[in-house]
Amino acid sequence: MNAIHFFKPELLWLLPLTLLPLVSYGVKQFNYPGLEDWPKDLLSDWLRWGVRALAVLTLISLIIAAAAPFTEGGTVIRVGEGAEIVVVLDRSGSMSENLQANDQSVNAKPISKIEASRKVLLRFMEQRPADTFGVVAFNAAPISVAPLSADRELARAALKSAESNSSGFTALNRALAMGLDYFNGRPFTATRLVMLVSDGDAVIEPEDRVILKNLFRQYRAKLIWVYVHAGVEKNILSSVIAGDNEYIPQAELDQVEINQNVAMNRLFEDLDIPYQAFEVNSEAGLQQAVAEIERSTNKPTRYEYRLPRQDYAIYFYLLAMLLLGALFWLKQIEIRAWKP
């Protein structure tokens, strides 16, 4: 049984005042010359002390109710299919570029990379009720937008608030480290996944790579990179970076960004951690990537569900009302005038 706590325990210091009815209980008294020759009336004695006891219990009930007693709800272990997922969302200026439209007609409405990402991730959350989600948004600096928890509304609000903002350098390594820190102090009861949604174009220094590698191993987390880009020509999974001695014609200079993202993909592979990359250039492709992620993380998992606390003040107020009703009835039947 859970221990009882009080929201306002300082009110319990008033409990000694509940003994006042034992001193004076407010029943009307009449003067009479003497009762020495009358027989002892045990029923009257019991009634007198019973009224006093009712008054004491009434005061006790009111004070305890005002102190707001409750018990903690605790947690229960539930088994479901899901994972602990930290979404690391890129909100750099390049994420405002439009993706390819699913409908190639002239009336097709363009959608930016970050808008498509938010849309698909929100749908992803709705389809996975057993998962816990956290959100980190980053450009030049990472921001802890929503902690890792079962509070789905908080995670949704965090995604909806993420807007692209160009501010130069992209702090990818710090964003991944912040996302991994969400697992700190949590029991390992589910698949842990860091879902990086980004268009790449970031550099991670060698010393930072070592830190990330150790953190991924420490928290036993998997990295998934959903590489979102605007054109089909950018392919991180099959592109080859030109060697130092190779001549790069002017036509290929525009592929520098592509090569940088290829290097970023290889960097993740070289971390020697569980890693998977998905490359998408349309909203439909993004949905397919998230669907694949969903299939890969549907494993039986144990997770804690926190139960709400149980309040007991209402029961003490009801008891006080019943006792007050009994005292009111006794007051109504009280003799108001002595008839000799």
| 151 and 31 both lie in a single domain | no
Alpha-carbon 197 to chain mean position: 21
Rounded CA-CA distance 48/68 in Å is 31
Residue range of the domain that includes 60: 4-72+308-332
Asked if residue 300 and residue 313 are part of one domain, the reply reads: no
Helices 313-332 and 42-66: angle between axes, nearest 10 degrees: 150
pLDDT at 31 over 90: no
- pLDDT tens digits, 151-175: 888 888 888 887 766 555 678 889 9
Of 189, 198, 2, which is closest to residue 116 (Cα–Cα)? 198
User: Among 225, 219, 207, 218, which Cα is nearest to 266's?
Assistant: 225
Question: Within a domain: residue 268?
Answer: yes
β-bridge partners, 144: 136
- How would you list the strands of the sheet with 4-6, edge to edge? 4-6, 69-71, 310-311
Q: Which of residues 250 and 179 earns the better pLDDT score?
A: 179
* Alpha helices (H) along the chain: 42-66, 113-126, 152-161, 172-181, 206-219, 256-270, 283-296, 313-332
Q: What is the pLDDT of residues 270-321, one digit of tens each?
A: 888 888 888 777 777 777 777 777 776 666 666 566 778 889 999 999 999 9
Residue 223 maps to which CATH number?
3.40.50.410
- What is the rounded distance in angstroms from the CA atom of residue 95 to the CA atom of residue 117? 9
pTM (whole model) above 0.75? no
Residues 41 and 61 in one domain: yes
- Domain-embedded: residue 113: yes
Say whether both 301 and 313 belong to one domain: no
Same domain, 121 and 204: yes
If asked whether residues 84 and 153 sit together in one domain, one would say: yes
Indicate whether 201 and 264 sit together in one domain: yes
CA distances for 94 relative to 7, 74, 99, 168, 335, angstroms:
51, 45, 11, 10, 89
Q: How far apart are CA 40 and CA 33, in angstroms?
A: 17
Q: How many domains is the chain partitioned into structurally?
A: 2
What is d(CA 211, CA 208) in angstroms, rounded to the nearest whole number?
5
- List, for residues 231-263, the tens digit of each pLDDT value: 544 555 544 333 343 444 545 545 545 556 677
Does any domain span residue 108? yes
197 lies in the same domain as 315? no
Is the per-residue pLDDT at 178 higher than 90?
Answer: yes
Query: How far apart (Å, rounded) are the C-alpha atoms in residues 226 and 212?
Result: 18
**Residue 22: CB atoms within 10 Å:** 12
Which residues does 111 contact at the CB level (< 8 Å), separation at least 6? 98, 99, 101, 119, 283
Q: Tell me whether residue 246 is in a domain.
A: no
Do residues 161 and 278 both lie within one domain?
A: yes
Residue 248 belongs to a domain: no
Same domain flag for 157 and 36:
no
Please indicate whether residue 147 or residue 288 has the higher confidence score (pLDDT).
147
